[in-house]
Amino acid sequence: MGKRVAVVVGGSVAGLACAHAVAEAGWEAVVVEKAAAPATGGGTGAGLGLDAQSMETLARWVPGWGLDAATLPLAVDLNRATDSGTKAARTLTRDEGFNFRAAHWGDLHRRLHEALPADAVTVLWGHQFLSFEAPGGDGEAGERGVVATARVLRTGETVEIAGDLLVAADGCTSAIRRQFLPELKLRYSGYCAWRGVFDFTGKEGCATMVGIRKAYPELGSCLYFDLAYKTHAVLYELPKNRLNWLWYINGEEPELTGSSVTMKVSDAMVAEMTEEAGRVWCPELARLIEETAEPFVNVIYDADPLPRLSWAGGRVALVGDAAHPTTPHGLRSTNMSIVDARVLGRCLARWGQGAPPRRALAEYEAARRPVVAAQALHARRLGRLKQGLAVDGDEKVFDARTVTEEEEEVSQLRQSSIPYFGGAPTTE
């Protein structure tokens, strides 16, 4: 038998990061992804913040990226209180040592895909994962340890992909995780997020951009959090003339169909959203929201920390949102996924081709589970704090209208309050 093979289910950022990591470890990877093609880097998409540890890791996998040119600095983490009546904003906390970078999801995905080593990674686009079996023994040299079954969407035929390890990178609604933890349910956070990307190419001098840069003068280097009563908004600039915004709104859990946590919106919903934006936010932000093409809604879920990250006798590993469904408030989802992949790859490399994968996966789980559990629970608490929802059973809720800078909760608004903010252990 030649090189060991990892079958990676899911071709989003987490899956492609895993492909890079296992290839770096000397393995081959086959990525199974139902999307017909990789992201182009365009479209409405979404923004994300990358921490220093992720940036260092990405520089290893995508050496020609030119990280400074492809991202923008988020040097400042700024939390402000907005008075919805007067529209005035006051600073609650300001952290000038933030050291994140802003990127567009589609651009990151495209660059990760283009940099995959062709001699070690195969991506099966348009293949919908159906099931898997783990018929092998201990994973010693010999028979492959896992077999995944997928449907080729273009033809309808069913194919089998054999490997030594199955990597579940199939997102927060992971079908693979559900097989091992059928009782685990995603936990609705109590709020949803309207979000969008405003493209101002050729519009830098328009009234909307002039107004927004006046109201948010540090765009291009600052992550803005505006907190109003029982709601908050996020705004930051992306490369290529784009502004990314999110607006979290408390409410009952919507009914969703299928496995997506993104909800289709009607013209009436958009009209209601823009009207409410004018009531809650300053005119400049409300106008930006109103003029954004194709805004959409994410229903925000997370889950209690998983009891394990590896299964089936060490032949299945969970990574990314499959391993730690999290709310977005700590800017953790993508960053945790990248470090998951990095640690998994390093563990596989350390144990080498001859050892059964279960040994590497045991080390991966020991390194990552405490980190992702602590970060996901912190992100949950931070979201409830900013949304004015009860935290840890406390009857008193955070109210941005009346809170003072000296109160303990204000310091907790900073992103740097999250566990392992300075970097998680990588076993290196």
pLDDT for 352-374, tens place per residue?
988 889 999 999 999 999 999 99
Please, what is the end-to-end C-alpha distance for the chain in angstroms?
28
Residue 112 in tokens:
């990760």
pLDDT for 82-125, tens place per residue?
999 999 999 999 999 899 999 999 999 999 999 999 999 999 99
Mean pLDDT of 133-147: 67
The whole-number pLDDT of residue 1 equals: 56
Give dist(CA 140, CA 29) in Å, integer: 18
Percent residues over pLDDT 70 in the chain: 96
Residue in 62, 54, 16, 7 with CA at minimum distance from that of residue 35 = 16
Which residue, chain included where needed, has tokens 């006046």?
214
380, HSE (Cβ side, Cα atoms, 13 Å)? 22
Mean pLDDT of 310-323: 96
Percent residues over pLDDT 90 in the chain: 83
Residue 392 in tokens:
């840890």
pLDDT for 283-314, tens place per residue?
999 999 999 999 999 999 999 999 999 999 99
pLDDT for 234-280, tens place per residue?
999 999 999 999 999 999 999 887 778 888 899 999 999 999 999 99
Tell me what the pLDDT averaged over the chain comes to: 93
> DSSP labels for 304-366?
PPPS-SEETTTTEEE-GGGT----GGGS-HHHHHHHHHHHHHHHHHHHTTTS-HHHHHHHHHH
Give dist(CA 191, CA 175) in Å, integer: 24
The whole-number pLDDT of residue 428 equals: 72
> DSSP labels for 152-167?
ETTT--EEEEEESEEE
More confident residue, 376 or 255: 376
More confident residue, 7 or 1: 7
- The amino acid present at 138, given as its one-letter code, is D
The whole-number pLDDT of residue 235 equals: 98
More confident residue, 312 or 43: 312
Give dist(CA 30, CA 274) in Å, integer: 44
Q: Where are the alpha helices (DSSP H) in 74-120?
A: 105-114
More confident residue, 353 or 76: 76
Q: Binning pLDDT at 50, 70 and 90, where does residue 45 land? A: low
For residue 142, pLDDT over 70 is answered with no
Domains present along the chain, CATH in parentheses: 5-51+107-185+306-386 (3.50.50.60), 67-100+186-302 (3.30.9.60)
Q: Which residues contact 52 (CB under 8 A, 6 or more apart)?
A: 99, 100, 423
For residue 68, pLDDT over 80 is answered with no
Give dist(CA 52, CA 75) in Å, integer: 11
Q: Which residues contact 138 (CB under 8 A, 6 or more apart)?
A: 313, 356, 358
For residue 141, pLDDT over 80 is answered with no
Q: Which helix (H) or strand (E) holds 235?
A: strand 231-238
Residue 224 in tokens:
């803005």
For the whole model, what pTM was predicted?
A: 0.94
Which residue, chain included where needed, has tokens 């190419």?
201
288, HSE (Cβ side, Cα atoms, 13 Å)? 32
